[in-house]
Every structure is written in structure tokens, then in C-alpha cells.
Homo-oligomer: A and B are copies of this chain.
Amino acid sequence: LTPPPAADDHLPCGREHWLLASALVAVTSASPGGRADPSRSVRIRDVARRAGVSHMTVSRVINGHPHVKEATRQQVLAVIREMEYRPSRLARELSLGASRTVTVLTANPTLHGPAALLQGVEEAARAAGFSVGVCVLDSADPAAVAQSVDRVCDPSTGGVIVIAYDLAGVRALRVLPTGVRVVAALEATDARAGRRYPSVMLDDRSAAAAATRHLLSLGHRTVHYVAAPSSTRASPRTQGWRAALRAAGADVPRVVTAGWSPASGYRRGRPLAANRDVTAVLCGNDDLAFGVIHAMREAGRPVPDEVSVVGFDDIPQAAFYAPPLTTVRLDFVGLGRDCFRLIRDTGAPATAAPPELVIRASAGPPPKGRMCIRRISP
């Protein structure tokens, strides 16, 4: 494997990527279809026959029922091991009339929030003997969302958890049929949705207000806001930010709407960087904050010396960014656990931790001459 031929072995200029030509994907296909044995798998009657009992007693030992003679029980167990028998989940659940799998619906399982929430759901589900499915929602195509919902809302489903932090999730909620257990992870108290579905949420509004107040208390005249996509027009984070500014008598700048990615934060951050009046920026998530900080740096406005930036989420990279990011930590894993508990309807208390402002190094006082002495009221 070699860099593209270059006479002096120096870096080829004007070419940002090297295609590693020989670094191809290798696909090994051992036996087609895996180790799949051509013979059909062993069924409950097979082990019954071999053990010299009826399939009913096999069923009993599988399910740990009492009233099975210890000797026959041991015998059956031995045959089960010998034949490598594994009961069919499909058959079991059909006869039981209840599937033990919950499906989580999300527009993007690689984003920090959804990924962590999924992990929380899986953790709680596995502990309860449930399986978890994932179905991703097409953000651009409402018809596809409806189709996904349709596939997932099988009458035999154990429940559906929809991550409704964006439009796709809200659309899914809208087309959900009646008769299926659903829990929604909502952006914040949405009166309508909260009444229709059991739901979990974090107090985004208060958290955004606290983050904003933190920046104001540092001496900034006002705080700009770069918003991630939201399920509602009046996103709770936006509300909290605005309320905190109003309470302090500060100007309320126009919301800058963005996507989820660092690239989007960078694009939206450039005009902000060009505006000398901007000294403090709150971002809808940490990735946006990274992009904004990058734009500031590029414009020669170092963070936090010239401008302060605060994020949302506290992703694992936040503490190791340059500068380490001040952000609002959100417990998505706990939220996921709570989603599953609500599906089970056990009445167990919520476990997700409340949002927490983690103060690191990306926010500080505004540059001299732009300081604003203000008393922040509760």
C-alpha cells in the first residue's frame, strides 16, 4: 500500500484525500448462509420422543414448572443438552399471546442522544428478558415514516418507544395505531402528546435557562442561540433561553436554526463569528458547539477569550475538546431505562438524573469593554 507516486515522496499537494487503493473490503463467505445446518432444528417433540415422555413434560421442565419428578426432569434436561434443543421464541410467544420485544423508533441512531437512550432501553430490557428492535425513521419522507410505524406496530409487539425529538419522531407518534403500548421520549412537556402517551422527558427548558443565566452572570450583554432541530416550533430549550434573557432584561437575538452536526454548527457559526456583537453563544448540542467554536477560531476570535460557547449533552468528546466544553449534561441512558419501565408499566420511579451544568473552559467573561454588570435574579 503506497501513497500515490510522487517523485520526491512528499505529500501531494492540493489533494486532501488519498484513496488507499489496495485497502479493499474483504468479504469472506465460508459456507453459504453461515454454519446453518441443512437439517431442520430440533423441536420439542423430538426431545420428548428421545426422552420417552410427552412433549408436555418437556415443556414443563423448560419452564421450570413444579410437579415434575426429579428423575424425569434430569433425564429431559440431559436430552435437551444432548440434542442442543432451544425452544422457538416465535412459537412460545404466539401461544403465550405476548411478544417480549420492544422496538425503538428514531430518526438517527448514531446521534449521541438516541444512541445513549437506545443503550438504556436495551440494558433494562435485557435485564427483564426482553429483546429490543430498532427501526429508523426517514426524516425526509412522511410516507416512509408511516410505513415504518406500520411494520413495527404489529399486534404482537411488546411495545414501541419513539424518540420524538424531531419532526420524524412526532410524525411517527401521529400515525401510531391504537392498541399498541407506546412510550414517547419527548423534548419536554408537550401538553398534547403528554396526555396521549406515557412519556419521559428531561427539563430542557430549565436547563437552557440555567445555561443562559450562567453566561449572563459572566458579564455578557446577551446570549445568542444556535438551535438543533426540534419537534415543535417553540422548543423548550428556546423558551428557557428566551425567558432567561427577558428576566435579565437582555436583548433577545434571533434564533439561529441549525441541524445536528458539527458541520452545521460551523456553517451557522460563521455569520455569528463575523458579528462583533456576539460574545456568548448557547448551542442546542455539543456537536453544534464544536462547529461554532471552529468557526470562531477560524475568524480569529478565540474561545473563551473573545467569545463564550456552551453546549448541550456532554458527549464523551466534550471534556477533551479545545477548549474543554462547558455544557449541560443530559442522562439519556437513564431516560432509556425509564422508557422501558414505562412500557412494562411497573410503576417504578424514574431513575434518569436531572440535567446538570458542567462548567469547563469554553465560557468566561466577555472581552474588556464589553462587560456588562448585571444582577441576575432567580
Contact surface of A with B, Cβ cutoff 8 Å: 1-3, 9-11, 16-37, 41-42, 84, 86-91, 93-94, 99, 101, 103, 108-110, 112, 115-116, 118-119, 122-123, 126, 129, 131-136, 148, 150-156, 159, 176-183, 188-189, 194-203, 206-207, 209-210, 213-214, 217-218, 261-263, 265-266, 287, 290-291, 293-294, 297, 316-317, 319-322, 324, 328-329, 331, 334-335, 338, 342-343, 345, 350, 352-360, 375-376, 378
Cβ contact within 8 Å between B156 and A25: no
CA distance A159 to B36 in the complex (A): 10
Cβ contact within 8 Å between B198 and A30: yes
CB<8 Å pairs between A and B, sample of 7: A17-B359, A26-B188, A27-B338, A42-B155, A101-B133, A110-B119, A262-B317
Cβ contact within 8 Å between B134 and A35: no
**How many copies of this protein are present in the complex?**
2
Question: With contacts A9-B375, A214-B3, A316-B287 known, is A118 near B122, CB below 8 A?
Answer: no
Question: With contacts A88-B155, A134-B133, A150-B86 known, is A23 near B319, CB below 8 A?
Answer: no
Cβ contact within 8 Å between B350 and A25: yes
Task: With CB as the reference atom, state the residue of chain B lying closest to A334.
Answer: B25
Cβ contact within 8 Å between B153 and A203: no
Cβ contact within 8 Å between A217 and B122: no
* Contacting residues, chain B, for A42 (C-beta < 8 A): 155
* Contacting residues, chain B, for A36 (C-beta < 8 A): 179-181
Contact partner of A25 (CB less than 8 A), chosen from B41, B324, B335, is B335
Contact partner of A19 (CB less than 8 A), chosen from B35, B103, B123, B354, is B354
* Contacting residues, chain B, for A90 (C-beta < 8 A): 90, 93-94, 99, 154, 156
Cβ contact within 8 Å between B132 and A134: yes
Cβ contact within 8 Å between B41 and A155: yes
* Contacting residues, chain B, for A154 (C-beta < 8 A): 86-90
CB distance from A179 to the nearest CB of B (A): 4
* Contacting residues, chain B, for A353 (C-beta < 8 A): 25
* Contacting residues, chain B, for A131 (C-beta < 8 A): 103, 133, 135, 151-152
Contact partner of A206 (CB less than 8 A), chosen from B23, B155, B188, B202, is B23
Cβ contact within 8 Å between A202 and B316: no
Cβ contact within 8 Å between B203 and A24: yes
Question: With contacts A126-B148, A136-B123 known, is A317 near B317, CB below 8 A?
Answer: yes
CB distance from A374 to the nearest CB of B (A): 9
